[in-house]
């Protein structure tokens, strides 16, 4: 099976086999059905199964085939939206609960790795936050004061991050952060879920998710799950049409993996402060004499579907990295992925607003999906078991954060602007202009058509109108995907949906 619908491959995909399970074809029932086998869904399934609940997990790809395969897997309480900002938006107590929950998430992953003996390279290490050259370090002072108020009193300011090749200037040191191999972790969770009686079905697309007295989840192959509760952990909820998608925005982010001499970069996590920011870690690839260090560097984000210049972004990342690490021997990996940015900096984990009471969601991870996904496991397990959890209110999906209103308006105006594409003339005038392996939107009268010419020269036509809320998709040359600039739905070259909020493929032309 193809490892991914996108063209690029991460180091994780290259160094693990993604577990495949059978496809659901029958009618089954469970206490809880979880849709989505990424870190959020698998953590939730594991924790519920451990509490004795019967769980069924559905994923339309393999386990971990979504953004968890494309992450860089920093596990942090050094949150990328900054604590002084979280304090402004959610108050001192909100920032404290955020710090507490992310710290608990790292501890929980560590405990699970130990308990289940998961070989996923889990490693505790320091994290360093620094400012770009010639920028004031006031932001570090503000953040230091805010993290201390939030209860993270072991964070300190140091003269520089521990790089020999480049002076970062002052930095904040966050002790006891962590990293791991995300797919090896999910493979371990899958084993543990099955040992506890959980059932996992892959290549099983949930077409309809209905709550109610009994939740009912229908799948593309005809299989049906009935359950007391359903958790939609599809990175962005495919069962919510509007509410959540006005409160989070979808960004594409880019990663390179640079080969460096073993031991030449201190093992730690690193982040700078611009928007978008750079994020770095070291992964040792291979074993014995063949092992090498891979410096994994991410950044260069833009709104999904609004730019098509992936190679330029990789080049910019490479320039930035080589300036700081002249010992780079070559670039071994380049990949991209999608991140959901909540307007107020915290994930949405809990009951799906305006839905039945037994439908739960986990989304809005920002760049902290490893810990937010783990928090989802802890919090949703408590909610489903009707236990109190102090974090419930800060992650409540129906919350309205008045202080985030300017960002909310900005993001939604940006979305509104994308609908002007409904009247644009198209990227190409005719199919003849489209080269093999490329795609373009064509205007045929008032109709917009997404045309892809495969490497053999055959043309594949679909409607360019996104089934979610009618945006016009754009071709992504790097990943060979159709990306919607409105709320980030993505489709493979032939129109099959690979990322919500759309839960449907691009329509066939005569079925529009
Ligand atoms: C390049 C990059 C770097 C990142 N770096 C970090 C980092 O260092 N630290 C960090 O904490 N976070 C990071 N993140 C964010 C983090 O990776 C994500 O937030 C996290 O992986 C999301 O996990 P998830 O389980 O919510 O979603 P996914 O992993 O995307 O899982 C969702 C699953 O749902 C399935 N699905 C979707 N629709 C259906 C359907 N209808 N039926 C059945 N299944 C369906 C998909 O196939 C998929 O497997 C990064 C993200 C990217 C892209
Ligand atoms: S993702 Fe909302 S319109 Fe396409």
Distance (Å) from CA 463 to ligand 2 centroid:
13
Q: Within 13 Å of residue 432, how many CA atoms lie on the same side as its CB?
A: 2
Task: Annotate 397-410 with b (16+ C-beta within 10 A) or e (fewer).
Answer: bebebeebeebbee
Q: Which atom of ligand 2 is nearest the CA belonging to 500? A: 1
Q: Is 501 in the pocket of ligand 2 (CB under 6 A)?
A: yes
Q: Is 418 in the pocket of ligand 2 (CB under 6 A)?
A: no
Label residue 427 by pLDDT band (50, 70, 90): confident
Peptide bond into 34 cis (omega under 30): no
Q: What Cα–Cα distance (Å) separates residue 30 from each residue in 187, 214, 384?
A: 22, 10, 13
Residue with tokens 């503000």: 142
Range 481-488 average pLDDT = 95
Label residue 2 by pLDDT band (50, 70, 90): very low
CA-to-CA distance for 129 and 170, rounded, in angstroms? Answer: 9
Position with higher pLDDT, 445 vs 379: 379
Q: Has residue 447 got a pLDDT over 90?
A: no
**Residue pLDDT, tens place only, 395-414:** 999 998 888 888 877 887 88
**Residue pLDDT, tens place only, 222-241:** 999 999 999 999 999 999 77
User: From the CA of 234, which ligand is nearest?
Assistant: 1
The 3-state DSSP class for residue 494 equals coil
Please give the model's pTM, rounded to 2 decimal places.
Answer: 0.96
CA-to-CA distance for 33 and 226, rounded, in angstroms? Answer: 8
Percentage, residues of the chain above pLDDT 70: 98
Q: Is 238 in the pocket of ligand 2 (CB under 6 A)?
A: no
CA-to-CA distance for 279 and 300, rounded, in angstroms? Answer: 10
Would you state the pLDDT for residue 423? 63
Distance (Å) from CA 119 to ligand 2 centroid:
39
The 3-state DSSP class for residue 147 equals helix
Region of 97 (left: φ > 0; alpha: ψ -120 to 50; beta: rest) is alpha
Under DSSP, the state recorded for 54 is: -
Range 335-347 average pLDDT = 95
Position with higher pLDDT, 386 vs 421: 386
Task: Annotate 327-357 with b (16+ C-beta within 10 A) or e (fewer).
Answer: ebeebbbbbbbbbbbbbbbbbbbbbbbebee
CA-to-CA distance for 132 and 126, rounded, in angstroms? Answer: 19
Q: Has residue 134 got a pLDDT over 90?
A: no
- Give CA 26 to chain center in angstroms: 30
Mutation probe of ligand 1 site: the residue of 66, 125, 205, 217 with most atoms within 8 A of C-beta: 66
Range 328-349 average pLDDT = 96
User: From the CA of 469, which ligand is nearest?
Assistant: 2
Would you state the pLDDT for residue 444? 86
Q: Has residue 214 got a pLDDT over 50?
A: yes
**Residue pLDDT, tens place only, 245-267:** 889 999 999 999 999 999 999 99
Mutation probe of ligand 1 site: the residue of 8, 186, 370, 371 with most atoms within 8 A of C-beta: 370
Mutation probe of ligand 1 site: the residue of 4, 9, 11, 38 with most atoms within 8 A of C-beta: 38
Average pLDDT of the residues of the chain: 94
**Residue pLDDT, tens place only, 149-193:** 999 999 999 999 999 999 999 999 999 999 999 999 999 999 999
Percentage, residues of the chain above pLDDT 90: 85
What lies within 8 Å, CB to CB, of 275 at 6+ separation is none
Would you state the pLDDT for residue 435? 93
Q: List pocket residues of ligand 1, CB cut-off 6 Å.
A: 35-41, 58-61, 65-68, 70-74, 205-206, 233-235, 238, 253, 255, 279, 298, 337-339, 362, 365, 367-371, 373, 500, 503
Label residue 509 by pLDDT band (50, 70, 90): confident
């Amino acid at each position: 099976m193809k490892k991914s619908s996108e063209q690029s491959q991460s180091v994780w995909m290259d160094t693990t086999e993604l577990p495949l399970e059978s496809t659901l074809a029958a009618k089954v029932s469970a206490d809880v059905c979880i849709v989505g086998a990424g870190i959020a869904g698998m953590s939730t399934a594991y924790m519920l199964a451990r509490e004795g609940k019967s769980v069924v997990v559905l994923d339309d790809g393999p386990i971990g085939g979504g953004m968890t395969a494309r992450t860089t897997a920093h596990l942090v309480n050094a949150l990328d939206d900054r604590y002084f900002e979280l304090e402004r938006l959610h108050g001192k107590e909100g920032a404290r609960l955020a710090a507490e929950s992310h710290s608990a998430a790292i501890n929980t992953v560590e405990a699970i790795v130990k308990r289940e003996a998961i070989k996923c390279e889990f490693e505790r290490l320091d994290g360093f936050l620094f400012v770009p050259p010639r920028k004031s370090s006031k932001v570090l002072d503000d953040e230091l004061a805010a993290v201390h108020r939030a209860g993270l009193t072991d964070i300190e300011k140091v003269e520089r991050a521990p790089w020999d090749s480049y002076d970062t200037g002052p930095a904040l040191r966050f002790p006891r952060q962590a990293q791991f191999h995300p797919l090896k972790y999910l493979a371990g969770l899958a084993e543990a879920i099955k040992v506890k009686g959980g059932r996992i079905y892959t290549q099983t697309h949930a077409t309809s998710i209905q709550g109610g007295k009994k939740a009912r989840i229908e799948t593309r192959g005809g299989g049906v799950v009935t359950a007391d509760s359903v958790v939609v952990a599809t990175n962005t909820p495919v069962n919510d049409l509007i509410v959540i998608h006005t409160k989070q925005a979808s960004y594409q982010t880019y990663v390179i993996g640079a080969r460096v001499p073993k031991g030449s970069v201190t093992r730690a996590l690193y982040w700078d402060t611009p928007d978008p920011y750079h994020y770095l870690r070291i992964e040792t690839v291979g074993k014995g004499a063949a092992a090498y260090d891979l410096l994994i560097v991410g950044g260069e984000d833009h709104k999904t579907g609004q730019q098509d210049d992936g190679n330029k972004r990789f080049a910019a990342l490479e320039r930035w990295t080589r300036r700081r690490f002249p010992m780079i021997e070559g670039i071994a990996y380049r990949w991209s992925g999608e991140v959901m940015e909540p307007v107020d900096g915290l994930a949405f984990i809990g009951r799906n607003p305006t839905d039945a009471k037994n439908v739960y969601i986990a989304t809005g991870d920002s760049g902290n999906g490893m810990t937010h996904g783990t928090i989802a496991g802890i919090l949703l397990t408590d909610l489903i078991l009707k236990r109190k959890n102090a974090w419930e209110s800060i992650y409540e999906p129906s919350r309205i954060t008045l202080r985030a209103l300017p960002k909310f308006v900005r993001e939604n105006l940006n979305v509104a602007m994308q609908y002007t594409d409904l009247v644009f003339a198209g990227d190409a005038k005719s199919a003849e202009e489209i080269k093999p392996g490329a795609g373009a939107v064509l205007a045929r009268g008032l109709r917009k058509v997404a045309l892809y010419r495969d490497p053999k020269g055959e043309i594949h036509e679909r409607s360019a109108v996104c089934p979610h809320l009618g945006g016009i998709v754009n071709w992504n040359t790097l990943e060979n995907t159709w990306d919607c600039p409105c709320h980030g739905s993505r489709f493979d070259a032939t129109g099959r949906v690979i990322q919500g909020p759309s839960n449907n493929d691009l329509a066939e032309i005569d079925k529009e």
